[in-house]
Structure 1
């Protein structure tokens, strides 16, 4: 995996830190996506380090304990000068407005979206005290817009539903958009918990039990059709979801 500092082995030929981000709302299949990246074995993988700083006041990057988003970015950049780094993060929090204003300027940013009619009941089943804002589509689309402003290019957006209907095609397109090699062998893996997500393992039982991108048939008692709070939450987030859905479908 390693190579000389300052000369990352980039599939897109660009020099600089080899740092790839995936942003998604909670319950968007982003942890299953991270499991696929672990299976690849060619990236050092970080699971939700920004939210760890929000929740715990700290996160670990190698041997370093960091306590701010800017400090986290600097350590991620340093590691990505030596080998490829992948960071998966969820957007229930506003990182841009809380010390993370430099995030869009660092690395390559990609996004994953899932229909809020699936995301919201799944999140509510895990956290009945949730507030609507923490579902995170507003923060997600703001991050994507800021990335577009900084780079001048529309970032790559993958729809989680495509991982269920055509995983190979969806991941091959993602890899092309993200500038990394497509590895078909990474589409299946052994079930089991992973140390990288141990802080929030109770949220990742589906990912831990999976051996690939598979559809959960779980039915939820409260849905956006039968619960007024979840219904209102859906209509609150639907416009932002649709923005990113259009971006996803504009990629040829």
Structure 2
């Protein structure tokens, strides 16, 4: 099975990739379109030079690879919604099972703003995520799978079991833990973004109250809320 997991940044997405890799029957790919996105937009992200040097820049080449089977029974692709800019193919999405990983905008903004200066709404991916969700729903005739990162942190085994059942694959208890430290399949941007997950050996505990935001962070979180709430209505 080919699984395309769609999220924005700071959304438990790397921990989810580690979880699926820990199954032992799953090839994983970390943000396949990141270099193509950077090349197309010219955006100056942390580790830009390393990403462009080490990751495939041609979106069509990446898309073709996403549509192919992995070397193991399952192929898990960690995708960022904001990477799917004009010119990057989307037709390959018909050849995979698309799942949408969501997180409350206030939590995303509190985490993202600590790592990236002056973010915009397009940087955090909520609008693009809703657009991709709608496109998949229209193409398939039904809403695609949605999972909320908060639910995974509350009950990792229960929610991952439910996700695996919905995907039609068996849950494996190995998905709950992984070794601390970098992974060989991390993207070259990992030194900037993955500090917390590199220190982890499993999913973090349930989150506390929502962070209090102000200024631009609060405005962006408010703008993202309708997209989040629309997808949250479909969460398993």
Shorter-normalised TM-score: what interval? 0.7 to 0.9
Task: Describe the superposition over 1:21-46 as per-residue Cα deviations: whole angstroms up to 9, x where unpaired.
Answer: 10111001010000101111211110
* In 2, Cα distance between equivalents of 1:103 and 1:142: 16
- Does 2:158 align with 1:169? yes
**2:106, 2:211 within 8 Å by CA — same for their partners in 1?**
yes
Cross-structure match for 1:43:
26
Pairwise CA distance, 1:71: 2.2
Q: Deviations over 1:136-178 (max 9, x none)?
A: 1000111111111111121111110111111101000111112
CA distance in 2, matches of 1:236, 1:153: 26
What does residue range 77-88 of structure 1 map to in structure 2 within 5 Å? 77-80=67-70, 83-88=73-78
| Alpha-carbon shift at residue 184 of structure 1 (Å) | 1.2
Which string of whole-angstrom CA distances, capped at 9 and with x for unpartnered residues, describes residues 36-82 of structure 1?
0111121111000112321257xxxxxxx744333222223333487
Q: TM-score, normalised by structure 2?
A: 0.85
CA–CA distance in structure 1, aligned partners of residues 233 and 125 of structure 2: 18
Structure 1 residue aligned with 2:229: 242
Mark the CA change 1:78 to 1:226 in structure 2 (over 3 Å): closer, same or farther.
closer
Residue 218 of structure 2: SS of its match in structure 1? Answer: helix
Deviates more, 1:20-29 or 1:146-155: 146-155
Distance apart, 1:210 and its partner CA: 0.8
- Residue number in structure 2 paired with 1:6: none
Distance in 2 (alpha carbons) for counterparts of 1:73 and 1:155: 20
Alignment correspondent of 1:4:
none
Equivalent of 1:108, from 93, 97, 109? Answer: 97
Listed one character per residue, the Cα deviations across residues 163-214 of structure 1 (whole Å, up to 9, x for unaligned) are: 1111101000111112221001221121111122241212111111111111
Change (3 A) 1:207 1:183: same
- In structure 2, the residue matched to 1:204 is 194
Which residue of the partner structure matches residue 11 of structure 1? Answer: none
Offset, 1:101 = 2.9
- The structure that has the greater radius of gyration is 1
Q: Deviations over 1:77-120 (max 9, x none)?
A: 3334874211001123334x332231432211001111111101
> Aligned Cα RMSD in Å?
2.5
For the 8 Å contact 2:63–2:92, the answer to whether it is kept is yes
